[in-house]
Structure 1
Amino acid sequence: MDLAYIPSPSTGVLHLGPVPLRGYAFCIIIGVFVAVWYGNKRWLARGGKAGTVADIAVWAVPFGLVGGRLYHVVTDYQLYFSEGENWVDAFKIWEGGLGIWGAIALGAVGAWIGCRRRGIPLPAYADAIAPGIALAQAIGRWGNWFNQELYGRPTDLPWALEISDGANREAGLYHPTFLYESLWCVGVALLVVWADRRFRLGHGRAFALYVAAYCAGRGWIEYMRVDEAHHVLGLRLNVWTAIVVFLLAMTYIVVSSRMRPGREEIVEPAALAQQAKADAAKAVTDSTGMAKTDRTGSAKADSAGAADPAGSADSAGSADRAGSAGPDANTSGAGTAAGSKEPGVKPESAEKS
């Protein structure tokens, strides 16, 4: 008796009234939202404008979905074009089947178009969005859980995945390779964020690190899978793809760091011009405020100065009048006293005697 395992979902479709919401599509939508949201935060930190990441994603996401589906259909063509299969199923993207290699490749074409329209260097944009793409993959892999697909060999581990409706597989417990890849992608996102802060990666090197790290994990996880796939020299096709892309990404990191060290100082010229315009407007506002303050202060000083002279004149006038009266009075009194002692005039007492 198995005491612990990951159960399969009871259904892969949720109904919102008459509208069916498939778990696989829901996971992809949430992943895209997270990638755009986090990419926007990183783009703003690099000096870009708000909304630029979303504007370019309008081009990148549809191209990525088409590319991912094309890669899946081409590499697993027997599922749609062999005898007894219906080729119309190749368009049923909600039933699963997106190749990340095709999604990134064609999605980059869409991002390039969007960047060209905004005058933005594609490598800078790719560096900003790289961790968000890894998080989007981590969320999107849970769509495989809803579809009960992409599982590994049978296992009795506590975290085994219960498959109750696997295509061409008997019910049982299997390695949850979708979970392994989801956790690996979260680790890749954290690695890219750390390395970008530590080494200030630029010119597409953060994106190349994401690609290399993802390929390193995809190689061993792909090796564990047991679903039908093409093999080349004894290895699954996606394992070879992971090896080749890993080598290309590492080569790009080495060559790019030698040819273009450091990171871009300006990632969006329009944002720089907008900031300069805002700074100029702020400077004008500040200078206007200072001028108003100076004029108010001068007016107050003038008013105080006009009041002070009048007060000083009154005080001076009072002092002058007081000073004039004081000496005159004293002089008159002194003269009277002195007049009684004028020469030739005898006092009465002296006459009587």
Structure 2
Amino acid sequence: MLTTLSIPSPSQGVWYLGPVPVRGYALCIILGIVVAIWIGERRWIARGGRSGEVSDLAIWAVPFGLVGGRLYHVMTDHDLYFGAGKHPIEALYVWRGGLGVWGAIALGALGVYIGARRKGIRFLPVLDALAPGVLVAQAIGRWGNWFNQELFGKPTDLPWGLHIDPQNRPFGYYQYSTFQPTFLYEFLWNLGAFAFVIWADRKFRLGHGRVMALYVMAYTAGRVWIEMLRIDNVELKDVFGVRFNVWTSIVLFVAAAAYFVISSRRHPGREEDVYLPGRGPQDEESPSGDRPAGGVSDPVE
């Protein structure tokens, strides 16, 4: 039964403009992408890049990221789409939810790499510019889980428990009505991680991919404890009694931490030039012919 202190779930996650469905999940993903591009653009200009280049890179990164996120989800939850009584075509229904963050990050980064090489941009500086905005995008995207009433945690009677409609409760939990709002925990964690990464980048002038490494460490540190609260079924659920996504987060945290330490020793400081040799803003001058100055002060640097 819904208590007055619980968090309500939306009564619906889809609205129709005539025959066109408008899905809350899709709106959250789109808004997150837009905000990430805006933050990344400001940080890139502050690093010495040209205005508009992050939007150009997004043309590569966004579709690659969507494909990667969906592939990761389908591979780790393939029984949802393949087997007796299943409909494989539904593996393509991205708008219904189901994007694996690490698949999205991996292929999204590949898209950035391809776009950066084509424009003569150094890969690591642009990753460092983009990484904090991705945390905000992930925070916003988690509200899509709220609209879909999915990926919530264990039953709870806490005042901020999330009410889940009976048809959306997993097998074995029908008698419970409120659950841990893991979407909200990750939303708040990611915003806090964003603030921490921005602070660290400003204070220590991180470069050579260390902002990206710090992003991975900050995100996975939260993902470990949040993932352990969740009760949704996943194909690779238990490895030595621990969810597969928890192990993934642990391995990535260790790898990112090792990279951060090694990079700090080998390449202290921050790159002075964000473009590859032979390519710079002077090669694609603005009407005034001015080259953006590296290290410009910026509120979100």
Same fold (TM > 0.5)? yes
Q: Which residue of 2 aligns with 1:155?
A: 156
CA deviation after TM superposition for structure 1 residue 276, in Å: 11
| TM-score w.r.t. length of structure 1 | 0.77
Q: 1:85 to 1:279 in 2, by over 3 A?
A: closer
Q: Which residue of 1 aligns with 2:227?
A: 222
Q: Which residue of 2 aligns with 1:310?
A: none
- Paired with 2:95 and 2:259, the residues of 1 have a C-alpha distance of 35
Q: Which residue of 1 aligns with 2:281?
A: 271
8 Å CA contact retained: 2:70, 2:94: yes
Indicate yes or no: 2:163 matched with 1:166: no
Indicate yes or no: 2:186 matched with 1:181: yes
Q: Which is higher, the Rg of structure 1 or of structure 2?
A: 1
Higher RCO structure, 1 or 2 (CA under 8 Å, sep 6+): 2
Runs of 5+ unmatched residues, structure 2: 292-301
- Greater CA drift, 131-140 or 164-173: 164-173
Q: Deviations over 1:191-213 (max 9, x none)?
A: 11100000000011001100111
CA deviation after TM superposition for structure 1 residue 188, in Å: 1.1
Alignment partner for residue 250 of structure 1, among 240, 250, 257? 257
Q: Deviations over 1:103-139 (max 9, x none)?
A: 1011111110000001111110110011110000000
- Secondary structure of 2:228's counterpart equals helix
Q: 1:44 to 1:3 in 2, by over 3 A?
A: same
- Paired with 2:95 and 2:63, the residues of 1 have a C-alpha distance of 15
- Secondary structure of 2:60's counterpart equals helix
What amino acid is aligned across from residue 106 of structure 1 in structure 2? L
Identity among equivalent pairs (%): 58
Indicate yes or no: 2:268 matched with 1:261: yes
CA deviation after TM superposition for structure 1 residue 279, in Å: 5.2
Runs of 5+ unmatched residues, structure 1: 281-353
**RMSD over aligned Cα atoms:** 1.7
8 Å CA contact retained: 2:282, 2:290: no
CA deviation after TM superposition for structure 1 residue 167, in Å: 4.9
Q: Deviations over 1:44-101 (max 9, x none)?
A: 1111100000100100110011001000100111111132211111111111111001
- Secondary structure of 2:16's counterpart equals strand
Give the total of aligned pairs: 280
What amino acid is aligned across from residue 236 of structure 1 in structure 2? R
Indicate yes or no: 2:245 matched with 1:238: yes
| TM-score w.r.t. length of structure 2 | 0.89
- Paired with 1:85 and 1:202, the residues of 2 have a C-alpha distance of 47
CA deviation after TM superposition for structure 1 residue 275, in Å: 7.3
Q: Which has the higher helix share?
A: 1
Indicate yes or no: 2:113 matched with 1:112: yes
- Paired with 2:287 and 2:35, the residues of 1 have a C-alpha distance of 31
- Secondary structure of 1:224's counterpart equals coil
- Paired with 2:39 and 2:259, the residues of 1 have a C-alpha distance of 25
Q: 1:279 to 1:50 in 2, by over 3 A?
A: closer
- Paired with 2:286 and 2:25, the residues of 1 have a C-alpha distance of 42
What amino acid is aligned across from residue 197 of structure 1 in structure 2? R
